[in-house]
Structure 1
């Protein structure tokens, strides 16, 4: 699921895509996948592509927070939570710092 989400974000030119392994830190999920978008149109394209790819693979989004006018959209797939931010909001909320007890995964290959 993480691999598909990262591929979907990368296909639509998501920026600064990061995977954070939070399995040993919390029970809310196993992974966060973060990406930045340069504008609301790109945010929507990123979200649409993630939803489409994961749906086709048989994964249903449990919860979606945010909409077209949001600067932070969250897709909750249970074990994986995808966050798409505007660049400004990503810096402001700084999930990488908040979840620093998690392990930043360098690439999807490290998940294998």
Structure 2
């Protein structure tokens, strides 16, 4: 296996592990997501720009539902221009209790 193929596999593996961990926390312990963000992290949610781990965590905890279940459809990971970084794009469905149809999401 050449180095480029090996790097691609490692990036995919790390991306999937991160997604699994992130959405497990989101579904079961949303306030714990604060540990995955940094003071310089940015989130745009429905046009609102949010900066910093604490503010992002607070916004996610204010969502109008307590329970949810994410089902992931796609995970696309690639190396970031920042050394050692990985860009991850996720899409899937968000299932809410009492709702017949899931909400689609991408992040």
Same fold (TM over 0.5): no
Name the structure, 1 or 2, with higher relative contact order (CA <8 Å, separation 6+): 1
Q: What TM-score does the superposition give when structure 2 sets the normalisation length? A: 0.28
Which structure: larger Rg? 2
